[in-house]
């Protein structure tokens, strides 16, 4: 059971703070609900009896946050070449609410976006996964939103540059120059 003031994660939506626990009658059924304030002044009502079942969990601590940031610094993991299968696989990972899986999705899709671009669905998924990741890191690290967004982007960019170098392709800037020269 969670308490008022607990920082929690609601899968597929991100991290928020339980503002209150209220009893409401919905469809003639009285239940207790967690009222969770999410980023962007959004409030979500979650039945207390089903909260854990649907994946509401406490946010990660600082040690776990460092591990999440470490995932952003790693090489991308294997993904299906078929965008439809890749999308379904990533959606399953998102639904688990596991922050390490979400970080993996953010890194992998960010790499894919830099390499080839993403389908509209995957762009939306990347945006959603980043929002979930950032919202939890803001609360875990007790830092400002823009500070965490900058940190996430810098870790992904550095990792991607390292990825290119390991493939012998040089940095992004060198690749852009090569492409421009080849176009002439």
Q: What is the DSSP string of 10-64?
A: ETTTEEEEEEEEEEEEETTEEEEEEEEEETTTEEEEEEGGGTTTTT-EEPP-HHH
For 168, the token pair is 């012998």
Q: Each residue of 112-158: pLDDT tens digit?
A: 999 988 999 999 999 999 999 999 999 999 999 999 999 999 999 99
Which sequence spans correspond to the domains of the chain?
Answer: 7-58, 62-178
Q: Are domains 7-58 and 62-178 of this chain identical in fold?
A: no
Pick the CATH number of 62-178 from 1.10.8.60, 3.40.50.720, 3.30.56.10, 1.20.58.1290: 1.20.58.1290
Q: Which of 95, 106, 116, 121 is nearest to 155 (CA)?
A: 106
**Fold topology of 7-58:** Thrombin, subunit H (2.40.10)
Averaged pLDDT, 31-46: 92
Phi/psi at 170 (5° precision) = 75, -170
Taking the alpha carbons of 147, 141, 161, 123 in that order, is the dihedral positive or negative? negative
- Global confidence as pTM: 0.85
């Amino acid at each position: 059971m969670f308490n008022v003031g607990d920082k929690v994660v609601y899968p597929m939506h991100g991290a928020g703070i339980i503002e209150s626990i209220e009893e409401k009658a919905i469809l003639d059924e009285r239940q207790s609900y967690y009222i969770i304030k999410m980023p962007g002044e959004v409030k979500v009502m979650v039945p207390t009896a089903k909260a854990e079942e649907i994946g509401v969990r406490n946010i990660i601590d600082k040690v776990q946050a460092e591990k999440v940031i470490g995932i952003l610094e790693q090489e991308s993991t294997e993904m299906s070449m078929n965008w439809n299968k890749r999308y379904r696989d990533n959606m399953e990972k998102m639904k688990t609410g596991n922050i390490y899986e979400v970080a993996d999705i953010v890194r992998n899709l960010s790499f894919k976006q830099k390499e080839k671009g993403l389908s509209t669905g995957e762009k939306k998924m990347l945006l959603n996964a980043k929002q979930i990741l950032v919202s939890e890191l803001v609360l875990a690290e007790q830092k400002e939103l823009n500070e965490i967004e900058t940190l996430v982007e810098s870790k992904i960019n550095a990792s991607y540059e390292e990825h290119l170098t390991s493939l012998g392709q040089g940095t992004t800037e060198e690749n852009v120059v090569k492409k421009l020269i080849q176009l002439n």
